[in-house]
Chains A and B, each alone.
Chain A
Amino acid sequence: MDWSALLRNYPYAVSLVLFGLGIHTVLARPNLLIKLIGLNIMQCGVFLFLVATGNLAGARPPIIDPAQPNGVYANPLPTALILTGIVVSVSVTAFALGLIVQVHRMYGTIDPTAIVAAYRQQKGAAE
């Protein structure tokens, strides 16, 4: 396999690094807020990858000058579709933050292991 292609495709490689950092944060950190930040870093990697596919060498940004409309323009379609993705990611982050606030209000902790322990304790006390 030609690994030097990773250097040539450097925006894709950077998005890969972001994705790896995010997925490690989600897996290894025991704090729900930090897991959410990891999720956002992962999403940033995906967005960067998809936006980078729209570039063309020597292209102008897709804002057309009516005086001289000809020329090479970057592809606006991935950018426009990623905007939807960004808004969905904001919505997911908002809802997750709301859930984390409520979890903290109920159990007094945002560590998943401690939440399970607190839940078992409350259940045992109720029975």
Chain B
Amino acid sequence: MDDIILREISLIVIPFIQMYGLYIILHGHLSPGGGFAGGMVLGLSMVLFVLVHGAERTLKKISHDAATVVESLGTAWYIVIGLVGMAKGATFLMNQGAGINVGTPGQLLSSGLILLITAGVGVKVASTILTLFMALIEEDH
């Protein structure tokens, strides 16, 4: 879509949308939201970029393989975080029961592994949305 208003406005708006998505992901344990909702906002900001600037320019910034790798690493990251509980002598995915310091409730850096898991899930969902959209709009070569 070649329209100067769309191009300029989208470049102004996209950073704010991504900032909001990161805010939702990182405040998942403090306010409504979390990995899935924030990841969706992040992914949809990239979909907006694809819609306005075209697939060619997006693939220059984020290649297809990079998005797929990040997406696979999201699931692996979850399992690695789960193994932390086992390494400390408790069960899989154990948080406070494994002796991890959960900090003061209400602070940004609190709740132990929840913050790490939420961040991983958010990145994974964002790259899933982007990969899916790119796969569906691909032309027949």
Contact = CB atoms under 8 A, between A and B. Distances in A.
Determine direct contact between A and B, CB below 8 Å: yes
Interface of A: 61, 63-66, 83, 86-87, 94, 97-98, 101, 105
Contacts of B132: 94, 97
Q: Is the interface of B mostly helix, strand, loop or mixed?
A: loop
Given A61-B32, A83-B36, A97-B136, 12 more contacts: A63-B30, A63-B31, A64-B105, A65-B106, A66-B104, A66-B105, A66-B106, A86-B36, A97-B132, A98-B135, A98-B136, A105-B140
Contacts of A86: 36
B135 A63 contact: no
Nearest to A94: B132
Closest 7 interchain pairs by CB?
A66-B105, A66-B106, A94-B132, A97-B136, A101-B136, A87-B36, A83-B36
A44 to B, nearest CB: 16
A105 B141 CA distance: 12
A87 B135 CA distance: 19
B74 to A, nearest CB: 13
Contacts of B104: 66
Nearest to A100: B136
A105 B136 CA distance: 12
